[in-house]
Structures are given as C-alpha cells and as structure tokens.
C-alpha cells in the first residue's frame, strides 16, 4: 500500500473505518492515516453491491417497503438510491440518437400519483391524480427511444413527439399510434410529412358492468379494430400497436407502482419519473430480449455487449 501523502510504501493496517468496516492504513514514515478509495453511488454511504441489489429488486417488481424489509435499508434510503440511479441512467438514454427505425409504435400507459382522478380535490397539487406514460417502441429491435410522463393532453403529446423526433435521423419511417386524437395533428406538426402514419382504433365490448367479481376484473374483449391512414402510404401488414402494448405489460410487471389494485402506487411525481427512467434504461441496455437473445440496444447497434446494472449506474 502506497501512502497518499509521502508516496512511501511503508504502510501497515490500522483498524477499520465506519459501519462498512473499511480498512484503514497508517504510514510508518509520515504517520498519516488513510483508507482506500471505495466507489459509491452518488453521495450515498451504502455499499455499491447492496445498492445494486436493492435497485435490481425494484426492477423485478418488488415494492419499496418489501425491498426495505429484505435489505435492511430504510425506505427513504431506497427512494434516494432510486433518484440517484435514475439521474445516472438518464445519461445512457440521452445518448440515443440518429436512429433509423422502419416501424415505430406509440401508446400510452395509465397510472396515478397519490390518488385516482375521481378522488382529486381542487386544493390538491396538479401532479396528483392520473398520469400517463407515453412510450415509443421500435417494432423490430424492441428499443424504446423515448418516453414522456404527464397528463393525457395536447401539450404532453407534442413534447413526446418532439422528443421522439430528436432521437431519429431524417429517414422516412412508418408510425402507428392508438386512436388518441391529439396524435393526428401532432404528428403532422412535428414530423411534417416524414412519416407514413396510421392510427389503429380498437373497440372493446362491455367492461365492468356486471355484478360478478369474475366479470368485473376480467379484461374486456375486442369487438372491432379500425385502421385509419393519416399520412403517406403505410404498409397495412405493419399497422399495429401489439409490440408496444406488450411492452406496456412488461412495465406493469416489472415496476410495482404500476400494478393495479394495490397501495404500492407512486406518492410523488418525481418518484414515478425516476422509476420509469431507470426502468427504460435497464430495459434498453441490461435486460436481454428473449426474441432477439440480446438487449434492444445491441439489436439497434448502440452497443456491442450486454450491460450490467452496475455499468448502467456508472454511465455518467
């Protein structure tokens, strides 16, 4: 061990430091005491291996309190780790640009912050109530180039589409969305004829109108599917939102705060944004897609290897 002050190699062990029992050293020449540098996640004193384990549990569908019980970390520490990890993971997402997809699909997934819309009061903050995650997905590579969180409004839709445009090259591509009406004018304003654009409208049968619990909680049946060409000449064989809808199911399965009929929902909008940011970075760079047997980022040519969660958190 080399002394950090005099650079002499005359150091001996000198006890331990802190709860993590980090080895201390003492120089026999200048009597300086020091310890080896240990990597930390941000300003947290939690060991990196323990922090990575807690975040991996969150990304596999465990709630914050369940993670706290299993790891011994306080729930506020877990949330703080999530915020720090999301800030680092966002650098990997920001590096996604100049994509050349052939077929993109867009959809929205519903969740809520604090309480559902029917219980929101006028005095509640604007972030309380329903929130929507707008998601774009490459149907071939399964890469998620961007997402947007907000109310299901024209403003959120335009932010989402503008963000998507920044991730793509100028090449023409086919875009399919659901029947949300703000897409029709928004795609025209943002992409200005760059897309072969179609909307897929799915009509569902009677839902939630029966007295039995089995009928009330069972998924509704699709009665009709209507495809509407909005711009260009989209290929009818690829007018679909099935891939992005399947991706939405993965999001609900991997993040506990999206699970229906639980009290594990987001209490703050900032926590929702952090969790979704970390999830999509993990989905793109760490999680291997079973169909391709590589990660979406590898399939899209953004990287040549499967990242570990520790590598993702050190991407900044």
pLDDT in tens, 199-256: 999 888 765 555 666 666 677 788 888 999 999 999 999 999 999 999 999 999 999 9
Sheet containing strand 103-113, strands side by side: 146-150, 129-138, 103-113, 173-177, 195-204, 222-231
**Which domains occur in the chain, in start order?**
1-38 (no CATH), 101-263 (3.30.420)
Could you tell me the two tokens for 148? 């947007």
Q: What is the pLDDT of residue 42?
A: 66
Q: What is the pLDDT of residue 315?
A: 59
Strand partners for 204? 222
Q: What is the pLDDT of residue 210?
A: 58
Confidence band, pLDDT 50/70/90 cuts, at residue 120: very high
Q: What is the distance between the alpha carbons of residues 257 and 276, in angstroms, rounded to a whole number?
A: 10
Is the pLDDT score of 3 beyond 90? no
Q: What is the pLDDT of residue 1?
A: 78
Instruction: Find all residues with CB under 8 Å of 133, minimum gap 6, and list them.
Output: 108, 109, 111, 147, 148, 149, 251, 276
Q: What is the pLDDT of residue 73?
A: 94
Q: What is the mean pLDDT of residues 176-183?
A: 95
Neighbours of 250 (CB within 10 A): 14
Is the pLDDT score of 283 beyond 80? yes
Q: What is the pLDDT of residue 222?
A: 84
54 burial via Cβ count (<10 Å: 0-12, 13-18, 19+): buried
Q: What is the mean pLDDT of residues 261-281?
A: 96
Q: What is the pLDDT of residue 212?
A: 63
Q: Which residue has the higher pLDDT, 159 or 8?
A: 159
197 to each of 81, 95, 103, 104, how far by Cα in Å?
Answer: 40, 26, 10, 10
Q: What is the pLDDT of residues 126-148, one digit of tens each?
A: 999 999 999 999 999 999 999 99
Is the pLDDT score of 272 beyond 70? yes
Q: What is the pLDDT of residues 51-96, one digit of tens each?
A: 999 999 999 999 999 999 999 999 999 999 999 999 999 999 999 9
Q: What is the pLDDT of residue 10?
A: 86
DSSP string, 244-286: HHHHHHHHHHH-GGG-TTSS-SBSSHHHHHHHHHHHHHHHHHT
Q: What is the distance between the alpha carbons of residues 135 and 249, in angstroms, rounded to a whole number?
A: 12
Sign of the torsion formed by the C-alpha atoms of 178, 180, 181 and 185: negative
Is the pLDDT score of 20 beyond 80? no
Q: What is the pLDDT of residue 211?
A: 60
Q: What is the pLDDT of residue 208?
A: 53
Strand partners for 289? 294
Q: What is the pLDDT of residues 94-116, one digit of tens each?
A: 999 999 999 999 999 999 999 99
Q: What is the mean pLDDT of residues 180-189?
A: 94
The model's pTM is 0.86
Q: What is the pLDDT of residue 5?
A: 82
């Amino acid at each position: 061990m080399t002394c950090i002050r005099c650079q002499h190699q005359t150091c001996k062990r000198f006890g331990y430091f802190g709860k993590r029992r980090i080895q201390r050293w003492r120089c026999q020449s200048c009597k300086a005491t020091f310890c080896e540098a240990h990597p930390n996640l941000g300003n947290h004193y939690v060991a990196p291996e323990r922090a990575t384990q807690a975040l991996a549990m969150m990304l596999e569908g465990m709630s914050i309190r369940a993670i706290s019980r299993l790891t011994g970390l306080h729930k506020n520490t877990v949330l703080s780790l999530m915020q720090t990890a999301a800030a680092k993971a966002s650098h990997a997402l920001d590096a996604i640009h100049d994509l050349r997809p052939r077929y993109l699909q867009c959809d929205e997934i519903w969740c809520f912050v604090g309480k559902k819309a029917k219980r929101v009061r006028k005095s509640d903050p604007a972030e309380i109530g329903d929130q929507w995650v707008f998601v774009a997905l490459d149907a071939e590579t399964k890469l998620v180039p961007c997402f947007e969180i907000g109310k299901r409004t024209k403003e959120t839709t335009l932010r989402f589409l503008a963000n998507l445009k920044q991730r793509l090259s100028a090449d023409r591509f086919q875009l399919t969305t659901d029947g949300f009406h703000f897409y029709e004018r928004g795609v025209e304003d943002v992409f200005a004829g760059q897309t072969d654009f179609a909307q897929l409208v799915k009509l569902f049968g009677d839902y939630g109108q029966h007295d039995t619990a089995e009928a009330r909680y069972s998924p509704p049946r699709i009665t009709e599917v209507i495809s509407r060409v909005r711009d260009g000449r989209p290929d009818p064989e690829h007018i679909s939102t099935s891939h992005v809808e399947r991706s939405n199911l993965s999001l609900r399965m991997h993040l506990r705060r999206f699970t229906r009929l639980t009290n594990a929902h987001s209490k703050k909008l900032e926590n929702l944004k952090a969790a979704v940011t970390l999830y999509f970075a993990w989905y793109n760079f760490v999680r291997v897609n079973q169909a391709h047997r590589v990660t979406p980022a590898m399939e899209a040519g953004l990287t040549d290897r499967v990242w570990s969660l520790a590598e993702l958190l050190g991407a900044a």
